[in-house]
Every structure is written in structure tokens, then in C-alpha cells.
Amino acid sequence: MNNAVHPQWLSSEAGVSPIEQASQFLYHEAALMDAHRFDEWLALWHADGFYWVPCNTEDLEPDKSISLIYESRRQLDDRVYRLKGRHAHAQSPRSRLLRVVSNVTIESANKEALIVHSNFVLGEVRSDRQETLFGRCRHVLALDEGAMLIREKKVFLLNNDTPMSNLTFLI
């Protein structure tokens, strides 16, 4: 089953604004990540997608600087494989996650893609330890055969210039 959101922003009959569609997509993605529904989350990604969490500053080029995470779709497949199995020892026991997505705005929209910005607060509890992460996301949501898919996701953590624990879960 394809869980991709089907955008209707080009149709005046849809009755749902692009911002509502983008918001619902981001809320859906967050729920999948928090519930560790890895295959369904991966199904939201375009075959050419990439996932980037920069380190130290927001305005770097990922191929010319150090990143916390910089992965192609193929590497995301590998990440999900590890998270689903017994290969992610740092996720034993698995983190309990809860995130709040807010301040969703659209930078641009055309018939091929939406560029969407949002903020988030992510709480993680694991092994009697609680951590809170704050950040911003930039999603490029592309249309592929009528489905909205993630072509690019950039996550800017507010504390990305300080020592932090391993990011062994989806952010």
C-alpha cells in the first residue's frame, strides 16, 4: 500500500489548500517516524531523494563539509534495514519518540514540487534518559505519478554545533 499523500493543489476542485496538504504530509511523516513504521516512512521518499542533517552551520554544501547525516535514498534503505533488525545496537531498547511539527510554511509551489519549511520539537526517551531536540526542516516534496514524495529533506538541529549523542533514530 502506498501511503504517499496525493496532492491536488493544481485542481480547484480539491478544496484543500497547498499549506493544508503539506502540513498533513509532514504530520503523517512525523507519526510514522515516531511509531518506528520504517517501511511506510521509506515509501514517502522519491527514488532520487536525499536526507541531510548539517553540522555546525546551516549554510554548507553537503558534499564539501562534515554532516551529521547525509544519505541518498539507497543509504536510507540501509538505515531502515538496520533499524528494523537487530543491527542497530544503539537502539536496544528502541527509543520512544514524540515530535511536534509546527510553523509550516511554503517557500514555493509549482506543478512539479512544493518547498516547505517547518519547525519541530522532538522528545526521545530511552534507557531512563530523556532528551529534547529542537530544529527546522526544509522539505522538497515532488510529484511522482500524482503522489507527493520527499525528494530532499534537510534537518537543521539548533544544537548541531555542540557535542551530542548518536542520532540512531529518524529525525
551530542: which residue's cell?
164
Q: What is the pLDDT of residues 28-83, one digit of tens each?
A: 999 999 999 999 999 999 999 999 998 876 777 777 778 888 899 999 999 888 88
Domain count, the chain: 1
Mean pLDDT is lowest, of 21-25, 90-94, 101-105, for 90-94
pLDDT of residue 40: 96
Q: Helix, strand, or coil here: 89?
A: helix
In a domain, 4, yes or no: no
The residue among 156, 162, 171, 169 whose CA lies nearest residue 60 is 156
pLDDT of residue 84: 84
**Residue 111 CA: distances (Å) to CA of 45, 143, 168:** 18, 8, 35
Domain harbouring 75, CATH code: 3.10.450.50
pLDDT of residue 88: 63
In a domain, 23, yes or no: yes
Distance CA 115, CA 138 (A): 7
pLDDT of residue 62: 75
pLDDT at 169 over 90: no
In a domain, 51, yes or no: yes
Query: pTM value?
Result: 0.86
Range of the domain at 129: 18-157
pLDDT of residue 128: 85
Write down the H helix ranges in 47-154: 73-84
In a domain, 136, yes or no: yes
CB 108 within 8 A of CB 22: no
In a domain, 112, yes or no: yes
The conformation of residue 13, written as its DSSP 8-state character, comes to: T
In a domain, 137, yes or no: yes
Residue 21 in grid coordinates? 496538504
Q: What is the pLDDT of residues 117-160, one digit of tens each?
A: 999 999 999 888 899 999 999 999 998 887 899 999 999 999 88
In a domain, 70, yes or no: yes
In a domain, 1, yes or no: no
